[in-house]
Structure 1
Amino acid sequence: MEKRFLPFTVPSWLKWVIVCMLVVLVLIFSYGVFLYNSIQEDKTKGFTQSKQTALSETALTKVNDIQRFHGDGFYHVVSGSTKDNKEAIAFVPVDDEKDISFFLTEQFVTEDEITTKWRKTCSDCQLVKTTPGINKGIPLWEFTYIDNDNRYVFAYFYMETGKSYEKIRFKTVN
């Protein structure tokens, strides 16, 4: 008599291959989650120390936001207000022994105003982000966007006047 298999019976070697593949997929997924969390944690590393430094060494009494900026150096941009409720920005250097740069923002062009002005010159561009920055002691607005020619662009504008400071465009390679 000939031995017959049920239609749903799978050879044992195939079961082991499937189990091994599932284990490998779970390990890869777990490593991806670990790597993502590690990168996100590294992006905010030092924010607490920069916040404390800005509060103790400048006129800031309240912190609203902290961002990163890489210009002529690496800075944590601490935005907040003074005891007089005036908005201000402190650029806390992270890697260098530079002094903290502190500015009251009442004399600056606001982010909304400069964004509106920028939109008029580049209406079809896709804005990625806007960040306060500093270069050689000059406070700037950094616009990161994709222009009409599909180039990644960094545009810098003076915070005091809103005039263009510099543009850096990256070509796409096809």
Structure 2
Amino acid sequence: MKKWIKLGIGLLIIVAIAISILLYFSIQPYKDKEDLAFSVALEKSGLESAEDFEWFRYKEEYYIVTGNNRAGEEMIVWIDTENLNIVAEHKASEGITKEEVIQSFKEEWDISEVIDIKLGYADKRPLWELTFIDDSKRYTFLQVSFLTGDWIRYYQYSQGGVSS
């Protein structure tokens, strides 16, 4: 009986180590991208500090870094991952907020559940991408201009595939 207990504990330890290693290697690429984006943003933009990182993929990939400039104003920097150039840099106050995006489209798009909202970049302009489920149970991606709040494009998926 003691052998079975020792064997069980040994297997649990091996499984815990394997899960830890798997988690480490699955998170590390994201962390490497975050470190690279922070260093590029601090070197090439007006950011004095880098605090938040997002990784956006549409047709191309972009890193988005949020931080503060020397005056303490919140800034957002969009970085092209291919050549590590800054493609846009704005004070957060120059654009609309997450809350404004959700509020302005909540009734127009019959949003029943917000899944995610994140900064992005497409067609040479910074944007918000709002992901939600509408009242018809469609999964919708809505891209909204960061600067004007106008919607740019949307995609909807129902159980059968793309619906718009």
TM over 0.5: yes
2:157 and 2:62 map into 1 onto residues whose CA distance is 23
2:151 to 145, 153, 164: 164
> Within 5 A, what are the aligned runs for 1:95-174?
96-97=82-83, 99-101=85-87, 102-173=89-160
Opposite residue 67 of structure 2, the aligned amino acid is G
Q: Which has the larger radius of gyration?
A: 1
Residue 90 (1) aligns with residue 77 (2): yes
| 1:22 CA displacement | 8.7
* Residue among 15, 32, 54 paired with 1:67: 54
Q: Cα deviation per residue 1:36-83 (whole Å; 9 max; x = unaligned)?
A: 332223233221121111111111112221111112321211011211
Which structure 2 residue ranges, 5 or more long, are not aligned? none
Q: Structure 1 stretches of 5 or more lacking a match?
A: 1-9
Q: Deviations over 1:123-147 (max 9, x none)?
A: 5421111111111220100111222
After TM superposition, which residue ranges in structure 1, 4 or more long, deviate above 4 angstroms? 19-30
**With structure 1 as the length reference, what TM-score do the two structures score?**
0.75
Structure 1 equivalent of residue 42 of structure 2: 55
Letter in 2 for 1:41: Q
- Residue matched to 2:27: 40
State the identity as a percent: 19
| Higher strand proportion (structure 1 or 2) | 2
Distance (Å, rounded) in 2 between the aligned partners of 1:150 and 1:80: 36
Secondary structure, aligned partner of 2:29? helix
Displacement of 1:35 in angstroms is 2.6
- Report the counterpart of residue 7 of structure 1 in structure 2: none
